[in-house]
Amino acid sequence: MRFGVAGFVTDEGIGPGELGAQLEQRGFASLFLAEHSHIPVNTKTPFLGGGPIPRQYHRSLDPFVALTAAAGVTTTLALGTSVALIPNRDPIMTAKEVASLDLVSQGRFRFGVGVGWLREEIADHGIDPAVRGRVADERLAAMITIWTQEKAEFHGEFVDFDPIFCWPKPVQQPHPPLYVGGGPANFERITRLKAGWIPMSTSADVMSEQLTELHTVAGHDVPVIGVHMGDHTPADIAKYRQLDMEELLIELPTEPRDQTLRHLDALQPLIAELA
């Protein structure tokens, strides 16, 4: 099993370039970054973890810009989104961003995607939150069309364009690996897209239960990159090795530079032992 980290990069902590370089030096396999374009001040949507929405959610850098900075100072580190919020994104521009990042990283990008949970954030992008799943499905289908066709054309309910030229095309063929975030409600989407799954959980036991359901719906060949959220002990992380996953991302707290590096130093012996 490979080990990486997932979290937010903000304007208040370690920069994405230095973070990427430090991860690669310590033997981590990957860096995955979360996305929120903004947080509405008067949101009524409950935070998934309970309590107020954490500060890093409205201070996060754009993940494609941040991952490009990390790509420029690394050579082996996989770079991913955990996750890009597709209802908030223009599909033509996002297709270009994904392909460009895949090109500058020489094929190291992993495209984690999600439909989003913060209804007011989605609405601010002009999308009815009630149809965000359908919007995401069309936009992903349109992106795949752009990546795989020289003259791309798409006509749907939410995405509609006549033939276009849009380059670069991704280095990875037919496109960078897709990983769908979220719970069991997304398993049918994973099946349709022939995608992987990028679940978030606080324990290996919970993730194991969901993996059983995933295999029932989508089969045993679905690639899985799990994200462990919150506090942990070495024994907690070791339990994930028993699961059918290709990689585990450990949540990296959003902290100032020196604290972040100390956190990585503490994790390094554990991932070296378990990898």
* Domain limits for position 190: 2-274
Residues of the chain with pLDDT under 50: none
Distance CA 55, CA 36 (A): 11
- Residue tagged 């990283």 (tokens): 105
SS3 content of the chain, % helix, strand, coil (to 5): 45, 20, 40
- Predicted confidence at residue 50, as pLDDT, reads 82
Can you tell me the distance from the alpha carbon of 90 to that of 125, in angstroms, rounded to the nearest whole number? Answer: 10
What's the pLDDT score for residue 119? 97
Distance CA 56, CA 34 (A): 10
**Per-residue pLDDT at 275:** 81
Q: Which two tokens stand for residue 122?
A: 């989605």
* Residues 6 or more apart in contact with residue 130 via CB below 8 angstroms: none
How many Cβ atoms sit within 10 Å of the Cβ of residue 99?
23
Query: Pick from 135, 91, 90, 99: which is nearest to 115 by CA?
Result: 135
pLDDT of residue 163: 98
Which pTM was predicted? 0.97
| CA dist., res. 26 & res. 33, Å (int) | 18
How much is the pLDDT for 49? 76
**Could you give the CA distance from residue 24 to residue 70 in angstroms, rounded to a whole number?**
10
Extract the tokens encoding 117: 């949970």
> What's the CA gap between 166 and 146, in Å, rounded?
7
Q: Would you mind telling me the total number of residues written for the chain in this entry?
A: 275
Instruction: Please report the pLDDT score of residue 211 as a whole number.
Output: 95
Q: What is the pLDDT of residue 48?
A: 83
3-state secondary structure of 248: strand
Hunting for tokens 């959220």 — which residue is that? 229
User: What residues contact 90, with CB distance under 8 A and at least 6 apart?
Assistant: none
pLDDT 10s digits, 4-33: 999 999 999 999 999 999 999 999 999 999
Q: Give the start-end residues of each E strand in 71-182.
A: 78-81, 84-85, 109-114, 152-155, 160-164, 178-181
CATH number of the domain within which 225 lies: 3.20.20.30
Q: pLDDT tens for residues 209-250?
A: 999 999 999 999 999 999 999 998 999 999 999 999 999 999
Tally of structural domains, the chain: 1
Question: Cα separation of 156 and 150, whole Å?
Answer: 19
